Amino acid sequence: MLSKLKAVSVNLLLLAIFGAPGAALAQSVSPSFPSAPPPAVSAPVIPVVPVQTQPVFPVFPVLPPPRTDFTLPLVPTDYTNASMVAPLGVSGPILNPANAVKKIDFNFKDPRSETEDGIMVKHLPGAQYERPQPAAIHLSEGTLLVSVRRPAHLAIVTTPRGDISIDSDAEVIIRYEDGILRVLNLSGLGEGIKVRIHGSEVSASLNGQSFESVKHEPRAMALKVGHELVSSDHALSRADLRPHDGVARRHFALLEDKCMAVSEFSLESALDKMTLLVDLQTKVSGVKERRILGDLAKMAAVLNYMNGAQGFEHGSEHGSGKRPQLGSN
């Protein structure tokens, strides 16, 4: 009996430790299923708010109103004349005389100490002139081309109407006919070309009635490059302002009771039309002539660039037929 109780207690102990055999088997054969994944959590959608940019407008500076209390630049009284307004029906802008000529007070230098080297004088046929000294030329009638280059420093040309001083590195065309003096500054910079007009008395008549003569004091002035000065012992006409020499001109101004005028001329047209200059281009010339032509061509290009090439009115070509042969001295 005691042995049975021991056997029962051992079985109970084993049962408690290992459990029932069927339960272990049932646990071992029961299928296992994988657990379902957790549901995906979507991120909240943030609405995109469009950014509105304000347009950038340019800021323009506010300019002050123009001044009305300024004073006009003064022009010497020798160069103010009511006849400057539309002189003689010449069209185009009016030239300010202060931009073409400058009143100066000077005494001509003595040319006797100058050398002949560097001074070139050429003339048209029929010109009446004398050259008593290498740097002194007296023109009675006709047209001259005068060039002064180093080693010479000065040349003086005298005419019945006025005297012209030419400094070194300058070329000028001087014409005196029928009491009218013309001076064309081809290349003289600054005060390189100076003109002194002699004093004179000019009488006037209108509709057969004579008026008291007007006395003109001597005037000395420097002529700007690319400009022409015309002086006469009588009132200038339109034909006097635009001679038939083929040179284009613009911007006229009348002075001294219409007995003096200044204008701007086209150096390019002068090189193409004036016989004195055209002959230098076509004939067999020396080194001096070629250098002068090269410098004048450069000056013409500079003047066209600085002052513009528009507005010039051409005259008719000087002469017709065969061009006259030039003389030189």
Residue 249: per-residue pLDDT: 94
* Phi/psi at 171 (5° precision): -125, 145
CB 137 within 8 A of CB 125: no
DSSP 165-210: EEESSEEEEEEEETTEEEEEESS--TTSEEEEEPPEEEEEEETTEE
Residue 106 in this model has a pLDDT that exceeds 80:
no
pLDDT bracket for residue 88 (50, 70, 90): very low
Instruction: Say yes or no to pLDDT of 99 above 90.
Output: no
pLDDT of residue 257: 79
pLDDT of residue 220: 87
pLDDT confidence tier of residue 322, bands split at 50, 70 and 90 = very low
Between 221 and 173, residue with greater pLDDT: 173
Q: Is the peptide bond preceding residue 151 cis, with omega within 30 degrees of 0?
A: yes
- Spatial distance between the Cα atoms of 316 and 219, rounded to a whole number of angstroms: 32
Q: Is the pLDDT of residue 3 over 50?
A: yes
Cβ 134 vs Cβ 119: under 8 Å: yes
Domains of the chain: 92-202+214-266 (2.60.120)
> What mean pLDDT do residues 40-47 have?
70
Record the tokens describing residue 119, joined without a space. Answer: 């001074």
Nearest to 185 by CA among 280, 301, 314, 303: 303
Distance from C-alpha of 124 to C-alpha of 245, rounded to nearest angstrom: 13
What mean pLDDT do residues 154-173 have? 95
- Over pLDDT 70: what percentage of the chain? 57
Residue 264 CA to residue 227 CA, distance in Å, equals 4
CA distance 270 to 298: 13
User: What is the rounded CA–CA span in Å between residue 135 and residue 155?
Assistant: 5
Res 222 pLDDT > 60 = yes
Q: What residues form DSSP beta bridges with 86?
A: none
More confident residue, 173 or 204: 173
How confident is the model at residue 329, as a pLDDT? Answer: 63
pLDDT at residue 297, rounded to an integer: 94
The pLDDT tens digits for 140-160 are 999 999 999 989 999 999 999
**Strongest mean pLDDT among 194-208, 251-265, 282-296:** 251-265
Position 11 scores a pLDDT of 65
| In contact, 180 and 234? CB cutoff 8 Å | no
pLDDT tier at 41, thresholds 50, 70, 90: low
SS3 142: strand
First to last CA, the chain: 176
> Does residue 207 register a pLDDT over 70?
no
Could you report the per-residue pLDDT of 268-318, keeping only the tens digit for each?
999 999 999 988 877 666 788 888 999 999 999 999 999 898 889 875 444
pLDDT score at 46: 74
Look at residue 258 in the predicted model and tell me its pLDDT.
85
Mean pLDDT of the chain: 75
- Say which residues have a Cβ less than 8 Å from residue 268's Cβ, sequence separation at least 6: 300, 304, 309
Query: Which residue type is seen at 134?
Result: P
What's the pLDDT at 292? 92
Whole-number Å distance between alpha carbons of 167 and 147: 9
